[in-house]
Amino acid sequence: MTLRHFLRDDDLSPAEQLEILELADDFKNGRGSSTPLAGPKSVAVIFEKTSTRTRLSFETGIAQLGGHPVVVDARTMQLGREETIEDTARVLARYVDAVVWRTFAQARIDAMSSASDVPVVNALTNEFHPCQVLADLQTVRERHGPLPGLTLTYLGDGANNMAHSLLVGGATAGMNVRAAAPHGFAPEQWVLDAARKRAAETGGSVEVFDSPTGAVSGADVVATDSWTSMGQENDGKDRVGPFRPFQLNAELLAATGKEETSVLHCLPAHRGWEITDEVLDGPSSAVFDEAENRMHAQKALLTWLVQRR
Ligand code: CP
Ligand code: NVA
């Protein structure tokens, strides 16, 4: 078996992604009662940014797998002083069986994985949030059935971690993924290239829009996220004015032209900004199922990664 990491959505092949989504359903439905972390095996869960869902879902999920979660605020580690990421990785692998890390630049988690003898999992970077998108895909499958051919439209900051992960993860699942973003906030070209490469394999598609109405037309799923991600609070950009037309509200939801559209938001939501109360609390909203599914999807992912070592 070879050591595998999950740093971005296309670290899983389409078949591997589906295998993990099916295992996630098994965990949710009580069929996946195995305890692959019994012993217990330990998993370090390290945060350089704040978190509610990721922390709680990993900590409880690892315990349910029979493992021991070691949750650490990175500000209390030597990592924040002069110890290198690579030396930290070498040390962690002497204690734990997997490392889950929420950090800033993707290059940091790439460095961690390059020196790690145990699986490394991206719990959010500036560029990707792949664990969230596993949960999102589980949620969409529950509501709409098989993913290939479904249309998902993301509205908002097209260059943030959620937009990028939905593009790459959705294309991996064979979905038609659209991103609608204001001028200057389009997805990064290298991410679009990666998503289109996957779409060419799976029969999915990837499109970018600069206005929201056409982008949501015919969408089975509409997703949005914060206009200001963690770490962007003082980046000097106007993160309100250009985004207002992209607010996920009842009018835009109706523009899908579909009755059964599902609404996704990874949370935390900024009610009244990127999404209205009416939509977030309305019948199309799947956001709290999404939050729950973080735990099931991550249990499946950790099981899969640890069994591959
Ligand atoms: N969706 C998500 O990752 O939430 P947290 O920031 O609370 O972990
Ligand atoms: N894009 C958001 C996601 C939060 C879970 C952020 O990075 O802050």
Cβ-contact 255, 213 below 8 angstroms: yes
230 lines ligand 2 (CB under 6 A): yes
Residue 230: C-alpha distances to residues 51, 111, 125, 268 (Å)? 10, 21, 10, 11
Grade residue 31 by pLDDT with cuts at 50, 70 and 90.
confident
**Whole-number percent of the chain with pLDDT over 70:** 99
Mean pLDDT of 150-155: 98
Mean pLDDT of 157-164: 98
Q: Is 132-287 in the same CATH topology as 5-129+291-307?
A: yes
Q: Report the distance separating Cα 266 and Cα 57, nearest Å.
A: 13
Residue in 178, 239, 247, 266 annotated catalytic? 266
Residue 261 has what pLDDT? 98
Residue nearest to atom 2 of ligand 2 (CA): 229
Q: Beta strands of the chain (E only): which ranges?
A: 42-47, 68-73, 98-102, 120-122, 151-155, 176-180, 205-209, 221-224, 262-265
160 lines ligand 2 (CB under 6 A): yes
What pLDDT digit, counting tens, does each position of 228-250 carry? Answer: 999 999 999 999 999 999 999 99
Is 132 tagged catalytic? yes
Q: Which atom of ligand 1 is nearest to the CA of 267?
A: 1
Is 225 tagged catalytic? yes
Q: Where are the domains of the chain?
A: 5-129+291-307, 132-287
Residue 80 has pLDDT above 90, yes or no: no
From the CA of 126, how far away is ligand 1's center (Å)?
13
Q: Report the distance separating Cα 105 and Cα 103, nearest Å.
A: 7
Strands 151-155 and 262-265: unpaired
* Long-range contacts (CB closer than 8 Å, 24 or more residues apart) made by 59-62: 60/295, 61/295, 61/296, 61/298, 61/299, 61/302, 62/37, 62/302
307 alpha carbon, distance to own chain's centre: 22
Mean pLDDT of 144-161: 98
- Burial class of 230 by CB neighbour count within 10 A (0 to 12, 13 to 18, 19+): middle
Mean pLDDT of 173-184: 98
Q: What phi and psi, each to the nearest 5 degrees, are found at residue 102?
A: -105, 120
Residue 33 has what pLDDT? 66
Whether complex ipTM tops 0.95: yes
> Helix 130-144 and helix 14-28: axis angle, to 10°?
70
Grade residue 32 by pLDDT with cuts at 50, 70 and 90.
low
Cβ-contact 227, 273 below 8 angstroms: yes
- Shortest CA distance to 64 belongs to which of 84, 82, 37? 37
Is 129 tagged catalytic? yes
Residue 81 has what pLDDT? 81
Q: Report the distance separating Cα 182 and Cα 20, nearest Å.
A: 34
266 lines ligand 2 (CB under 6 A): yes
Residue 96 has what pLDDT? 98
What pLDDT digit, counting tens, does each position of 195-231 carry? Answer: 999 999 999 999 999 999 999 999 999 999 999 999 9
Q: From edge to edge, which strands make up the β-sheet containing 68-73?
A: 68-73, 42-47, 98-102, 120-122
The topology (CATH level 3) of 132-287 is Rossmann fold (3.40.50)
From the CA of 161, how far away is ligand 2's center (Å)?
7
Is 102 tagged catalytic? yes
Looking at every residue in the chain, the average pLDDT score rounds to: 97
Mean pLDDT of 122-138: 99
Class of domain 5-129+291-307: alpha beta
Mean pLDDT of 33-59: 95
What pLDDT digit, counting tens, does each position of 7-25 carry? Answer: 999 999 999 999 999 999 9
What pLDDT digit, counting tens, does each position of 250-289 carry? Answer: 999 999 999 999 999 999 999 999 999 999 999 999 999 9
H/E segment holding residue 59: helix 53-64
Residue 243 has what pLDDT? 98
Q: Which amino acid is at 66?
A: G
